[in-house]
Amino acid sequence: MTVQIRQIAEVAIVVTDLERSVRFYSEVLGLPVWERGERHATVRLANGFLGLWLPGAWTLTPSPNSIPIRLEGGARQHIVFYIDLKDADAAEANLQRHGVRYYDPRVKERGEMHIDFEDPDGHILEYWARADFEPPPDLPLG
């Protein structure tokens, strides 16, 4: 029997400069710092968390079931944030004000707007602006 996953609790990404990343996610995106360590920080993201980790700071020690694992990075991630459609222009203006590299907004046929931008490490982030936030329907357990 499978166990129902209720939501994503945390997404973790590897960053090269922890101070710079904490400033970006807290000052530019307005995410409050939840926890701060020497080699990582966690910011609150809606009903979950975003972990910011320096290379090698997140590790799993060996166990009978696995070898040691270290989160080293080296790859771009893509994280999408829902925002209200009425806030899309303000979101774009905020990115401009902070000098954040972003790409021309894309408007979909349903009127949704997508604004892709980069964090200081080149991770691709996206504002997905929608007029409503109805949760997706539950999938049947099978």
Q: Residue 12 has what pLDDT?
A: 93
pLDDT tens sequence across 37-94: 999 999 999 889 999 999 999 888 888 878 888 888 888 899 999 999 999 999 999 9
76 vs 79: CA distance, rounded Å: 10
58 vs 53: CA distance, rounded Å: 7
Residue 142 belongs to a domain: no
Q: Which of 34-38, 78-82, 126-130, 132-136 has the highest mean pLDDT?
A: 34-38
The verdict on 3 and 29 lying in the same domain is: yes
Q: Residue 70 has what pLDDT?
A: 81
Q: Residue 120 has what pLDDT?
A: 96
Backbone angles phi, psi at 63, to 5 degrees: -140, 175
pLDDT tens sequence across 113-125: 999 999 999 999 9
The verdict on 61 and 91 lying in the same domain is: no
Confidence band (pLDDT; 50, 70, 90) for 27?
Answer: very high
Range of the domain at 119: 76-135
Backbone angles phi, psi at 93, to 5 degrees: -60, -40
Residue 49 belongs to a domain: yes
The verdict on 1 and 65 lying in the same domain is: yes
The verdict on 1 and 68 lying in the same domain is: yes
Residue 140 belongs to a domain: no
Cβ atoms of residues 88 and 127 within 8 Å: yes
Going by their DSSP bridges, the two strands 10-14 and 48-53 should be labelled as parallel
Number of domains in the chain: 2
3-state secondary structure of 98: coil
The verdict on 107 and 126 lying in the same domain is: yes
Q: What is the DSSP letter of 85?
A: G
The verdict on 7 and 49 lying in the same domain is: yes
Distances from the Cα of 30 to the Cαs of 14, 33, 44, 60, 124, in angstroms? 19, 9, 9, 30, 17
59 vs 121: CA distance, rounded Å: 21
* pLDDT above 80: residue 142: no
* pLDDT above 80: residue 15: yes
Cβ atoms of residues 18 and 40 within 8 Å: yes
